[in-house]
Structure 1
Amino acid sequence: MRPRLTTLLCLVLCLSQRTGTQKETLSRPIIWARPSFMVPEGKQVAIWCQGTRAADEYQLHFEGSLSASQRPKPPGLGNKVKFLIPAMTSLTAGKYHCFYRSGELWSESSDLLNLVVTGMFDTPTLSVHPGPMVISGELVTFYCRLETGTSTFFLLKEGRSSHVQHRYGNAQAKFSMGPVTTAHRGTYRCFGSYNNHVWSFPSEPVELLITGEVESSAIIVFYPLFETDSWDPDLLTTETGFHKDLALWDHAAQNLLRISLAFLVLMALVCLLAEDRLRRKRTFQKKADRASRWECRRRWRNTTLRKDQET
C-alpha cells in the first residue's frame, strides 16, 4: 500500500506544482499619466498604475530602477494607485513602468510610459505646404523650424487618435504625408528637442483642412515614438475591464484547480485507506479461520487420544 500511496502523492504534487507554475501569473498592469504624458516644466503630473483588487503593493520604476512603492487604500477595495510628481523637471522626465504584488507573487511589467517635460527651449514655428487647405489625394509637408537649433523634432496631431512623429535635423525638419484623406484633417503642433524626453515649448497650432471627395484610401503610415492613446484612461475602459476580468478569472481558476487537486488527493487517500482496511480485514479473517481449524483439529486429536487410552 505504501509504495502505491507514495507514487500517487508524488504524481499529484508534481502535477500541482507544474500547473501552479503555469497558471499562477498575474495580469500585466496598465500605466498612464494624467493630465497628459507631456507636462510643462514645473507643473504637477500623476502617474497611475492599475492592477487588480487582489494587489497588496505597487512599485513604480524610473529608468529601470525602483522609484516609489505604495499600497492601495483601502486594502482589497482599490485596483489602482497614484504616484504624484509635484513639479515636472528634466530630471523626472523619462521612461516609467510599474509592477504590483499579490501575496508573494509579482506581476509582469507594464508597458513603458514615456513622460515628457515641455517648455525647456524656445518656441518653434510650424508651417504646412502647399497650404492649410488641400484637396483630398494631394501630398502635404509640414515644416518645423527652431532658430536656436536642435537635433530632433516632434509633430503631434491633437485629438483622441493623436500619435507622435519624429524627425532629425539641425534647425528644421519636414514631415511628409499623403495622399491625404479626411483622416489627416485636424490640428497639428510641433516641438524641438535635444533628447526624447525634454522638449521645447509647443509651436502655434496649424489646422489642416481637407476638401473634395476622397480619391484614395491610402494614408500615411505613422511610426509613433509615443502612443498617447494607450496612456489615456478614457480610452482604456474596455481594456482595463478586460484585464480586470481576466485577472479575476485567473484567480478563480487557480482556486478551483487547487480545490480539485485537494479533492482528488483526499479521494485517493480514502480509497487507499479503504482498500488497506479491507485487506487487513481479509487477512485477519484468514488467520482466524486457520486458528479455528487448528483448534478443531487439536480437539479432535485430543478426543481421539482419550478414546484410545480408555480402550
Structure 2
Amino acid sequence: MLYIKELKPSIWAVPGIVVPQYSSVTVLCRGPPGVSEMRLGSRESSEWFGKIPQGPQETVEFPIENVTLTSARTYYCEYLKERAWSAQSDPLQLVVTGVYKDTPSLTAHPGPRVTLGGNVTLFCHSAHVYDTIHVFKDGNAFSQDYLHQDHATFLISPVTLAHGGTYTCYGSPQTHPLLWSLPSNALNILVTDAALKDIQPEEDEPTEMQVPSAEHPNEVTYALLQPETLMGSVDPLTCTFKDDSKQPCVYATLTSP
C-alpha cells in the first residue's frame, strides 16, 4: 500500500470523547483539499468505514447513533489523495460511561466552600472498587495531573479562582479503561476571597476625636485647635500628651448660631 508524506488528518468527536451509553456521537475527520476518500478505523478492529467527501469540504462525519460497549475504541482516520493514503491521524479514545451502574459519591473536605489560597481535598467514593478514578470539572477533564488516579483522593493546593466550578468523578477498571461508571453527584466548589479582619487601632495610636452634634441651640462644644491657624493674639495653654511632651494648645468655645 502506498502512503504519502503529506499533512496527516485531524480527528475529533462531537459532543465530546466521553459519551453516555445508548446516546449518539459523531467522529469527524479532516484532511487537506483534494481528498478523494476519507476512512475511519480503530485499533481494536480491522474494519474500515470509508466516505467520499461531498463538494469542496475536507471534513467527513462518521456518526454513531447508538453508543454501545463496542463503541469504546481508539479511533484514527486516513485520507486518499492522488492514489495514495496519508499517514494516520492522532488517536482518539472514545469513552463510554454508564457501563457500571453504581454511582460514585464525590465530597470535598473540609467543605465545598474554599478560601482563595487554601487547600481542599476531593474524595470519590464508590461501592465498586475501581483501578482508576477520573475527575471532571465543568464537563471537561480537570487536568492531566488529576485525570487518571489510582486512588480516590485529589488534593488541590493552593486553590485559585480557576478551581471554582462543578466537579464529577467516574471509575473504570484496568482491564477496560474506556468503559466507565455512571457519573457521580455534581459537586459545586465555591472559591471565596480571604475574610477581612476587623481593623482595630493600635494601643499607642491616637484615636480620631468624634464631636457630638448639638442637640440644643445653646449647647457648647469644645474643640482642640492649633495656635498657628488662629488669627489674632491668643494665650495658649500648655497641654500634656501621652508621650509626656508638652505642646501649646488652645481650647476655643464654639456656640451654635
Give me the TM-score of the superposition, normalised by structure 1: 0.56
Between the aligned partners of 2:182 and 2:44, the Cα distance in structure 1 is 28
Shift of 1:53: 2.6
Does the residue aligned with 1:176 lie in a helix, a strand or coil? strand
* Letter of the 1:168 counterpart: D
In 2, distance between residues paired with 1:101 and 1:82?
16
> CA, structure 1 residues 63+161, in 2 after alignment: closer, same or farther (shift >3 Å)?
closer
Q: Look up the equivalent residue of 2:177 and give its one-letter code.
A: N
Question: Do the aligned partners of 2:122 and 2:155 also contact (CA within 8 Å) in 1?
Answer: yes
> Could you tell me how far apart the structure 2 residues matched to 1:143 and 1:156 are?
13
- Is 1:114 equivalent to 2:93 in the alignment? yes
2:16 match: 36
Once the 2 structures are TM-superposed, how far is the Cα of residue 89 of structure 1 from its aligned partner? 1.5
Aligned to 1:144: 124
| Residue segments in structure 2 that go unaligned for 5+ positions in a row | 195-257
For the pair 1:202 / 2:183, whether they are aligned, the reply is yes
Percent identity reads 36
8 Å Cα contact 1:139-1:177 kept in structure 2: yes
Distance 1:205 1:94, change over 3 A: same
TM-superposed CA distance for 1:163, in Å, is 3.9
Residue matched to 1:190: 169
Q: Relative to structure 1, is the Cα distance of residues 38 and 125 closer, same or farther in structure 2, using a 3 angstrom cutoff? A: same
Instruction: Select 1:80's aligned residue among 59, 76, 95.
Output: 59
Greater per-residue helix proportion: 1
Cα distance change of structure 1 residues 198 and 81 upon mapping to structure 2, 3 Å threshold: same
Relative to structure 1, the CA distance from residue 95 to residue 103 in structure 2 (aligned partners, 3 Å threshold; closer, same or farther) is same
What is the CA deviation profile of residues 55-103 of structure 1, one whole-angstrom value per residue up to 9, with x for unaligned ones?
A: 111121212644323233425x120111122211121202111111111
**Superposed counterparts of 1:124-273, under 5 Å:** 124-158=104-138, 162-163=142-143, 165-169=147-151, 173-194=152-173, 195-212=176-193
Moved over 3 A (4+): 64-67, 159-164
Aligned residue type for 2:64: I
Q: Which consecutive residues of structure 1, in runs of 5 or more, have no partner in the other structure?
A: 1-20, 214-311
Length, aligned pairs only: 187
Give 1:133 shift.
Answer: 1.1
Higher relative contact order (CA 8 A, sep 6+): 1
Which structure: greater strand fraction?
Answer: 2
What is the aligned-residue RMSD (CA, Å)?
2.1
